[in-house]
Amino acid sequence: MNPTQGKKKKIRLLFVCLGNICRSPAAEGIMSGIIEKNGLQEMIEVDSAGTSGWHEGDLPDERMRLHGEKRGYNLCSRSRKIHKEDLSDFDYILAMDENNFRTVRAMATSKEEADKIHLMTDYLVQFRKLHDHIPDPYYGEASGFELVLDLLEDACEGLLLSIKRDHLLI
């Protein structure tokens, strides 16, 4: 018998920002924690990438790691640039803002690939009417990192609800 037979394919999520050192690795770490808390590690897999390769191989920004640690998140993924293959390999591609959304959308070569690409803010619940993008905290103060974490916690919870509903995990 084939070892993958009867095994359901994992739902794969890719979080995308510009440099893959602040927002997208934070989303990856937060979503990983939520998935673990819900016992869904066998069903959902997460990764992150950037539309630029400026920080390839780097850990997330030290300030983001520090703010994440205060909330119990381990933000330790290494930065990588998004690749064309990611559009076929992942089920959900979640861009942090319109610029990254447009960049990723331009990589799509089919309607199927384009339909996988969403704004992270599409999944906001509490902050839905207040924010239309996840702001880049890189050049700002500590409060910017906290806001990003607040928004991502909200959006990741909303995303999980949507995945549960769409994939009958409820």
Nearest to 40 by CA among 77, 3, 11, 75: 11
Is residue 143 one of the residues assigned to a domain? yes
Q: Given this model, what pLDDT does residue 53 score?
A: 86
Contacts with 59 (C-beta within 8 Å, 6 or more apart), sequence order: 21, 65, 75, 76, 77, 78, 79
Is residue 90 one of the residues assigned to a domain? yes
Is residue 37 one of the residues assigned to a domain? yes
Cα(81)–Cα(146) distance, rounded to whole angstroms? 25
Predicted confidence (pLDDT) at residue 28 exceeds the cutoff of 50 = yes
Can you give the residue range of the structural domain that contains 93? 11-166
Cα(84)–Cα(117) distance, rounded to whole angstroms? 13
Is residue 156 one of the residues assigned to a domain? yes
For 35-76, how does the pLDDT look when each residue is reduced to its tens digit (9 = 90+)? 999 999 999 999 999 999 888 989 999 999 999 999 999 999
Is residue 4 one of the residues assigned to a domain? no
Give me the number of domains the chain comprises.
1
Please give the positions annotated as active site: 17, 23, 136
Q: Which two tokens stand for residue 63?
A: 């300030």
Is residue 2 one of the residues assigned to a domain? no
DSSP bridge pairs for 11: 44
Is residue 1 one of the residues assigned to a domain? no
Is residue 100 one of the residues assigned to a domain? yes
For 84-124, how does the pLDDT look when each residue is reduced to its tens digit (9 = 90+)? 999 999 999 999 999 999 999 999 999 999 999 999 999 99
| CATH number of residue 19's parent domain | 3.40.50.2300
Q: Given this model, what pLDDT does residue 129 score?
A: 85
The band of 5, judged by pLDDT with boundaries at 50, 70 and 90, is very low
The band of 2, judged by pLDDT with boundaries at 50, 70 and 90, is very low
Q: What is the mean pLDDT of the chain?
A: 93
